[in-house]
């Protein structure tokens, strides 16, 4: 099998996994927005607007979104993500330490689902 066929196959797998991950995150974020009574939950489906929605749910300053676009500052974006997910967990009535788990590989896939679909 030629190498280009293998590369094309791997690219297709990455695209499918990426789309599945994006849809999963959008559904989770929209459900979280609905359960917290946040308006415009449909923003979960729009890139960058979904970060705005997370900031609104977490009741964090909207200007944090600007930091994402500043080259050297966006390195610390992971800290902001932890703070945002901790606040989202609190809004859902869950312990804030769940937000810290967003930095743990594999577990970070389950955290949005736990916050969205648990009571």
Question: How confident is the model at residue 58, as a pLDDT?
Answer: 96
Number of domains in the chain: 1
Cα gap 59→37, rounded to integer Å: 12
Query: 59-112 pLDDT, tens per residue?
Result: 999 999 988 888 887 778 888 999 999 999 999 999 999 999 999 999 999 999
pTM of the model: 0.89
pLDDT of residue 1: 66
Return the percentage of the chain with pLDDT > 90, whole number.
Answer: 79
Structural domain for 108, as ranges: 3-117
């Amino acid at each position: 099998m030629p190498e280009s066929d293998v590369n094309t196959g791997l690219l297709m797998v990455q695209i499918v996994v990426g789309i599945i991950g994006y849809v999963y995150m959008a559904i989770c974020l929209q459900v979280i927005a609905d359960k917290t009574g946040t308006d415009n939950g449909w923003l979960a489906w729009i890139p960058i607007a979904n970060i705005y929605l997370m900031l609104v749910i977490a009741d964090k300053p909207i200007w944090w979104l600007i930091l994402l676009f500043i080259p050297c500052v966006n390195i610390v974006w992971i800290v902001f993500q932890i703070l945002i997910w901790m606040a989202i967990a609190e809004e859902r009535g869950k312990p804030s330490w769940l937000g810290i788990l967003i930095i743990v590989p594999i577990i970070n896939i389950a955290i949005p689902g736990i916050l969205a679909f648990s009571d």
